Structure 1
C-alpha cells in the first residue's frame, strides 16, 4: 500500500488526513501527487473557511517513504523530477491555498512532515510530538525549495541544527523557537485544533483569504507598493459592510 491523502468536508471546514499505515504516515510519491490534487480542489471551494491538516494513528508524518527511494534517487534527472514536481507540486499547492491551514501535529513530524507543517498558518502540537529532518543519516541533503521553506518557517538556526546535526527537537522547544503557536497535552490536541478552526470559521472568510494573499506576496519579496495597488478592492463588499454594521449595532456579525 502506497498510502493516501484523505479529504473530508464538514460544513465550512475541511480535514486533510495523511494516511500510511505501518509507516507513521510517511509520504509516498502517490501521496505527494494526491496532496497537490486535494489542495488544488480546496482552493476552488469558495464555501470553505479553513482546513485542518493531520496524520492518522497518533503521528503527523515521519518523512518520505524510504522503501521507494532506490527506484529513483540514484539518477539526477529522476531525483529532480521527484523533488521539483511531486514534492514541490504538493507543497506548492498548499502554499497557494488561500484558506487558513491549521496543522494538528502529534507523534513523529520528520522531514516531509516538517515541510508540510511549514505550509500551514497555525501549528499546534501535542506534548509528545518530535520534530527533525535527520536525512544526513541517509546520505542526502534537503532539496533547495524545501530547505528554503523550512528555514523561513522554523528559522535558519533550527534548519541548520536539523540538517547538519540530525537534531530531533521536542514540541516545547519548537514552540520556544517560534515554529508552533501552541503545545497542548496529547489528549487535548484534537479539541484545541477544532476549537481554533471553529473560531476561524466564524470570522470574515474573504478577509482571511486576502490576508493570506498579502502575506504571501510580501513574503515572496514583492514591493509593498505593488501589493497596495490591489489592497482595497474589498471596500464595497458585503462582508466588509456587515462587519462594520454589526460592530456599530453591538451584535455578532454574520459572514
Structure 2
C-alpha cells in the first residue's frame, strides 16, 4: 500500500504530514486509517496544544489514490465501507479532536485534500495553491458527510461550484470566499503555519479545547446516507475511473 501519514513533534506542537511520493500526497486507504489513529492519539493526550497538518513536498493533498479504486469502488458494500469507515473515520477523528488544528496548504488541495483542510481550524495557504473537488470527471459524487464538511467550511455555493462544475479555484479566490485565513508567499507557508501554531500553543489549552467543543455543538446533525452508495456499479462510475487510469477523456452515458 502506498503512502503514509507521518507524526513528529516540535515542542507542544504535533506535526502530521501526508506523504505519498509521486502522487501529490493522494490519500490511500491505509493513509485514512493512519490519520484516524494519529488524531485519536492526539485527542487522548494532554501533551499537545496545537496540530499542524501539512503535505510532503510541494503539495498538500491531490485527492484520493485512484489506482486503488477498482479494488472496491464498484460494489456498494465495499464502497460504503471505504467512505463510512476509512474516510469518515479519519475525518471524524479530526473533527472530534479538541486540540486546535492548523492546515499548512501548498500546491494541490483537491478532493480528499479539501475534506482534510475543511476539518482544520485555521487554514494558511501559499499563493499558488489550488482548490477543488473535480470528482464529477470521475463519475461519482462526494459522500454525504464529506460534502457536509466541505460545504460548511467552504460555503454552499463554493461546494456546488466545485462539485457541479468541477471548478478549480485559486488561493486568492478561496481567501475572498472565507475558506482561508491567510494567503502568503509560497516559501513562507511553513513558517506562517508554525507561527500560528506557536501563538495558539502559548494560550490557555483548556480554553481552546472548550472553545472547540462549543463550536462543534453548533453542527451536530449529520446528513442522511441511506442509499448513498447505490451508484457503485453504475456505468458512469466505471467509465470515469477507467478513463482516468487509462489517461483518456471519459465519455459518460446519458443519465437514466
TM interval, short-chain normalised: 0.7 to 0.9
User: How far apart are residue 220 of structure 1 and its match?
Assistant: 1.9
State how far apart, in whole Å, the 1-side matches of 2:10 and 2:153 are.
29
RMSD between superposed Cα atoms in Å: 0.7
Return the index of the structure with the highest Cα Rg.
Answer: 1
User: How far apart are residue 92 of structure 1 and its match?
Assistant: 0.3
SS in 2 for 1:57: coil
What's 2:77 paired with? 77
Please give the residue correspondences for 1:171-186 in structure 2 after superposition, counting only pairs within 5 Å. Answer: 171-186=171-186
Instruction: Count residues with an aligned counterpart.
Output: 221
What's 2:65 paired with? 65
Please give the residue correspondences for 1:1-255 in structure 2 after superposition, counting only pairs within 5 Å. Answer: 1-220=1-220
User: How far apart are residue 219 of structure 1 and its match?
Assistant: 2.5
- Runs ≥4 residues deviating over 6 A: none
User: How far apart are residue 44 of structure 1 and its match?
Assistant: 1.0
CA deviations on 1:140-198 (whole Å, 9 max, x unpaired) are 00000000110111000000000000000000000000000000000111111111111
State how far apart, in whole Å, the 2-side matches of 1:197 and 1:74 are.
41
What's 1:236 paired with? none
State TM-score, norm by structure 2.
0.85
CA deviations on 1:88-135 (whole Å, 9 max, x unpaired) are 000000000000000000000000000000000000000010000000
Structure 1's unaligned 5+ residue stretches are 222-255
What's 2:233 paired with? none
SS in 2 for 1:62: coil
User: How far apart are residue 9 of structure 1 and its match?
Assistant: 1.5
CA deviations on 1:58-80 (whole Å, 9 max, x unpaired) are 10000000000000000000000
State TM-score, norm by structure 1.
0.86
Structure 2's unaligned 5+ residue stretches are 222-256
State how far apart, in whole Å, the 1-side matches of 2:19 and 2:136 are.
25
